Chains A and B, each alone.
Chain A
Amino acid sequence: MKNYNDYQNEGPEEHVLSEDQRDSLLTIKAPADLRGRIQQRVAESRNAVIGKRTGFPQLAAAGLLGFLSFLGAQALVGQLGGPRVASLEANNSSTNSSTDQPAADASQSDLVRDYHLQGVALLSTSDRYLDTFGPVGQSPEVVLATYLHERGGQK
């Protein structure tokens, strides 16, 4: 088998294609509209990538804020104690009275459980969070009040 030096010592390279044959291939040009089609596809591809990049962080941020709001609301329930929650509950429900402490405790416990479920559900979709509680970034207290208002309205 020939090695590199053998090929080097063969002298001038002997082409197989004639000039005419080579020229006939070199005259081939890309279709005139190909440039525009490529730029359009690149632009579409770029927009799709930007959509992916911005979509996920927005969703994640909304979910995180929803979760933090939920934690804040839980802390608020714990800090304010039964009377305020019971009072809020009483405003939304005619069946409870402010003197009915066991019922208020049960209601508060239900509230926390329900709100927990609601908060978990919120994490699954930022759209629902926005639809339910409005713009991301509301204080936990506002979120809780909104929730209680809606909960009362559902009863």
Chain B
Amino acid sequence: MTENQKDLAALKRCQAGDVGAVGMLFDHFGDRVFRLSLNLLGCHAEAEDATQEIFLRIYDKAGTFAGRSKVSTWVHRLTVNFCLNLLKARKRRPLTLVDGVLEQRSSAELDASGSMEQCETAALVHSLLARLPAEARTIFVLREVDGCSYQDIGEILDIAPGTVMSRLSRARDKFRQLASASAESLGVKVE
């Protein structure tokens, strides 16, 4: 059984009212949904809240999944739409405080996720992402961090692959500019 078939089975169980199936989907997508939410929202607490809401929606909308795409693409789409709507509603960009991001990562997470150095690097990248417009940040994170294909990004954002490429190119240019401008103060290595 493929991963997608397992996800489909879990969605069907959700549709039938099986609360335990949400746990199975969380085991598969929880980290990805949380990470994408954090990268888009820039705030640990908001990312936690968003992840909860997104999994509630996954449970509620399990019956509406048409099966035209992979379950992972559908989950990404729900996540992106939720976070972008949240950003629009709040009319603001994510937090830009590097120290704030660092403080919000607990010691348990540090143990699980690696060294303090990695956390500092992540915080620096977050500080640059925070200065990208929401649309550019979304497409940049989906490709550069999550490694989604152009086709998957197109399905997630409901745009053509060519549009994905052009927007990604602009997002990368913008990120490079920001990184160059902040290179000395933030110490970000731009390749």
Q: Which A residues have a C-beta under 8 Å from some C-beta of B?
A: 1-4, 7, 14-18, 20-32, 34-35, 37-39, 41-43, 45-46
Taking a contact as CB atoms under 8 Å apart, the answer to whether A42 and B59 are in contact is yes
Q: Give Cα A38 to B60, complex, Å.
A: 13
* Given A1-B166, A37-B52, CB of A24 within 8 Å of CB of B122: yes
Q: Give Cα A24 to B105, complex, Å.
A: 13
Taking a contact as CB atoms under 8 Å apart, the answer to whether B113 and A34 are in contact is no
Q: Give Cα A1 to B165, complex, Å.
A: 12
Q: Give Cα A121 to B56, complex, Å.
A: 40
A34 cross-chain contacts in B, Cβ below 8 A? 26, 30, 34, 48, 51-52
Taking a contact as CB atoms under 8 Å apart, the answer to whether B52 and A41 are in contact is yes
Taking a contact as CB atoms under 8 Å apart, the answer to whether B162 and A7 are in contact is yes
B108 cross-chain contacts in A, Cβ below 8 A? 32
Taking a contact as CB atoms under 8 Å apart, the answer to whether A27 and B113 are in contact is yes
Taking a contact as CB atoms under 8 Å apart, the answer to whether B165 and A29 are in contact is no
Stretch from B5-13, B14-22, B77-85, B90-98 contacting the other chain: B14-22
Extra pairs beyond A3-B162, A15-B191, A17-B125 (12, CB < 8 Å): A2-B165, A4-B161, A4-B165, A21-B189, A24-B118, A25-B122, A26-B35, A28-B31, A34-B51, A38-B26, A38-B55, A41-B52
* Given A34-B48, A35-B30, CB of A42 within 8 Å of CB of B55: yes
User: How far apart are B4's CB and chain A's nearest CB, in angstroms?
Assistant: 21
User: How far apart are B152's CB and chain A's nearest CB, in angstroms?
Assistant: 15
Confirm or deny: B131 has a beta carbon within 8 angstroms of a beta carbon on chain A: no
Which residue of A1, A7, A28, A38 is within 8 Å of B35 (Cβ)? A28
Q: Give Cα A28 to B125, complex, Å.
A: 13
Closest residue of chain B to A47, judged by CB? B19
Q: Give Cα A23 to B55, complex, Å.
A: 25
Taking a contact as CB atoms under 8 Å apart, the answer to whether A7 and B169 are in contact is yes
Confirm or deny: B23 has a beta carbon within 8 angstroms of a beta carbon on chain A: yes
Taking a contact as CB atoms under 8 Å apart, the answer to whether A16 and B175 are in contact is yes
Judged by DSSP, the binding face of A is: helix
B169 cross-chain contacts in A, Cβ below 8 A? 2, 7
Confirm or deny: B138 has a beta carbon within 8 angstroms of a beta carbon on chain A: no
Which residue of A17, A28, A46 is within 8 Å of B144 (Cβ)? A17
Confirm or deny: B38 has a beta carbon within 8 angstroms of a beta carbon on chain A: yes
The 4 closest A-B pairs by CB, nearest first: A4-B162, A30-B34, A27-B113, A24-B121
Which residue of A24, A32, A35 is within 8 Å of B23 (Cβ)? A35
Confirm or deny: B2 has a beta carbon within 8 angstroms of a beta carbon on chain A: no
Taking a contact as CB atoms under 8 Å apart, the answer to whether A22 and B144 are in contact is yes
Confirm or deny: B119 has a beta carbon within 8 angstroms of a beta carbon on chain A: yes
User: What are 27 residue pairs bridging A and B, where the CB atoms are less than 8 Å apart in the complex?
Assistant: A2-B166, A2-B169, A4-B161, A7-B162, A15-B144, A15-B191, A16-B140, A16-B179, A16-B190, A22-B145, A23-B118, A24-B121, A25-B145, A28-B34, A29-B34, A29-B35, A34-B26, A34-B51, A34-B52, A35-B26, A35-B27, A38-B23, A38-B26, A38-B56, A45-B56, A45-B59, A46-B59
B48 cross-chain contacts in A, Cβ below 8 A? 30-31, 34
Taking a contact as CB atoms under 8 Å apart, the answer to whether A46 and B52 are in contact is no
Q: Give Cα A4 to B169, complex, Å.
A: 12
Q: Give Cα A21 to B191, complex, Å.
A: 11
